[in-house]
Structure 1
C-alpha cells in the first residue's frame, strides 16, 4: 500500500505520524520510497530524499525544489537524537510500539515488536518543513500463517477425497 508522508504534518517533532499496517513481532516488512522523491526541512540547503540530509544534493531542474539546475539544495546536517533514537535529519523513520526504525528510501526487515507501523519525517521542528514523499509499505506474510493455510488446504483436499469413497 502507498502512503504520503508530509515533512510538516508528519514530523517527528510537532506533527502526527502516518499509521500504516499492523505487524506482529518478528513479522517481515518492506518500505520503499523513490530516490527522486524529495521533501524539505526548510530553506536551502535542506532538501533530501527519505535517506535524509546526508550530503550535498544539487537541483536537477525537474525535482521538487524548483531551484535552478546545479543549485545546492541539500547538505549533511548530521544526526538528530530524540527519545533515545538517532537518525539523519530529514530521514524517513518508522515506529512500531516504542521502537524506532530508520527506513530511508529502502528497508527490508522485521518488526521489533507488535503494533502499527507509523511513518514520520525525522526533524527537530516542523514549522518550516515542506513537501511529502510517497512510501510503499508491504508486510511479508508470516511463514507460520502460510504453513497453517497450506495445512488447512491439505486437510480439505484429504477430507474431500475421503468423503468420495
Structure 2
C-alpha cells in the first residue's frame, strides 16, 4: 500500500519526511492482527456513557520523533508503542486513536486583523510536540491516568489527559 506524499522530497514507500523504507503492507497486516480491526480507525470500544471517555494527548520531544525513522532505534521505539497499544486493545478501552506525523509536516493557521496567516511547521518552538492521541473508555479519571502513565511518551515527555465532552442533547 502506498501512502500519499506530503512533500516534494518524500520518497515513495517511506514515512513522509524520511528516506527509511517502510513495508506498509506488513505494518497494516500486523496492526490488523493486533487490533482485529481496520488499522487506521481503532473503533474497538462501544460508547456506553459519554462521561467515561478521556483523551490521552501523547507528547514527544524531537529526539523521540527522530527514533521513528532511525533504523537503529525504530524497532525499540515502535516496540514500546505496540506493547502499549496491544495492552489497551486487550483491555478493550480504545475508542479511537491515531499517531501523527512529525511536527515538520504541520501547518498552523491563525486569523490576525481579519486575514488568514499560515505558517509551515509548528508555531511554537517547544520542547514537546503532539505525537498522537487515544480516546479511551474507562470508569474514571484515575483509570485514565493509570493508562497515561503506561504510555512510552510519559517517560520521555508528557501525556495530557482530558475528559471528552459529550455530544449535545438533541
**Structure with higher RCO (Cα < 8 A, 6+ apart):** 1
Q: Hey, which of these two has a bigger chunk of helix by percent? A: 2
Q: Hey, which of these two has a bigger chunk of strand by percent? A: 1
TM-score by length of 1: 0.31
User: Which of these two proteins has the greater Rg computed from alpha carbons?
Assistant: 1
